[in-house]
A and B are shown apart, each in its own frame.
Chain A
Amino acid sequence: EPEVTQTPSHQVTQMGQEVILRCVPISNHLYFYWYRQILGQKVEFLVSFYNNEISEKSEIFDDQFSVERPDGSNFTLKIRSTKLEDSAMYFCASSGVDEKLFFGSGTQLSVL
């Protein structure tokens, strides 16, 4: 079965540093998403991306966050200046016209 790939699986960074989380969605998918889960809390929607632009974003997705599909295969989430509260598991997902969502295995981000 096709799968969404996320790298790295774990990322440790210092507060204030920039991080880029990488995802390779399923190749024929058109819709891309980032979700996150802070330890012990709900999985939260961050942003959706379609046709090379953000289609929807949550209140969490402030100016510190950005997404990009730089080369037609990768889909990245950048956090410009990380805060302690950005520590979470970040999930990338993609879907096609059938609206079935496929998730990656996540990147655990730890901000120290």
Chain B
Amino acid sequence: GDSVTQMEGPVTLSEEAFLTINCTYTATGYPSLFWYVQYPGEGLQLLLKATKADDKGSNKGFEATYRKETTSFHLEKGSVQVSDSAVYFCALSDQSVRTDKLIFGTGTRLQVFP
């Protein structure tokens, strides 16, 4: 079945460092791809999404590009802040049905130190 694999955490960075969190997927169809973020004590929030190949989702300085040829959707940010410390989840949904049923990865904890 469909699945998502993302890099193990925690990822520990200094403020203003460059961030990459890897995510690859396996899907029989043509999925939509998402990054969700969970800040301490809060629910998962949609960070960005992409619905077709070569689409780039972006929000709050984060970007991810839908790469069909490598089945990847890596999350990047050029300069992280302490406030970006959170758990980041990569997810996909099957576009042939409602796109709000999601298949998630395990999550990657990001810790940013000043």
Contacts and interface: CB of A to CB of B under 8 A. Distances in A.
A43 B41 contact: no
A19 to B, nearest CB: 20
B104 A56 contact: no
A41 to B, nearest CB: 6
A42 B105 contact: yes
B102 A101 contact: yes
By secondary structure, the A interface counts as: strand
Interface residues of B, number: 20
A55 B59 CA distance: 32
Interface string B36-57: 1000011111100000000000
B100 A31 contact: yes
A76 B2 CA distance: 28
A102 B104 contact: no
Contacts of A102: 43
Nearest to A100: B46
B96 to A, nearest CB: 13
Given A42-B104, A43-B107, A91 B43 contact: yes
Contacts of B14: none
A41 B103 contact: no
A4 B44 CA distance: 10
Given A31-B98, A93-B44, A95-B100, 5 more contacts: A43-B44, A99-B99, A101-B102, A105-B42, A106-B43
Interface of A: 3-4, 6, 31, 33, 35, 37, 40-45, 48, 56, 91, 93, 95, 99-106
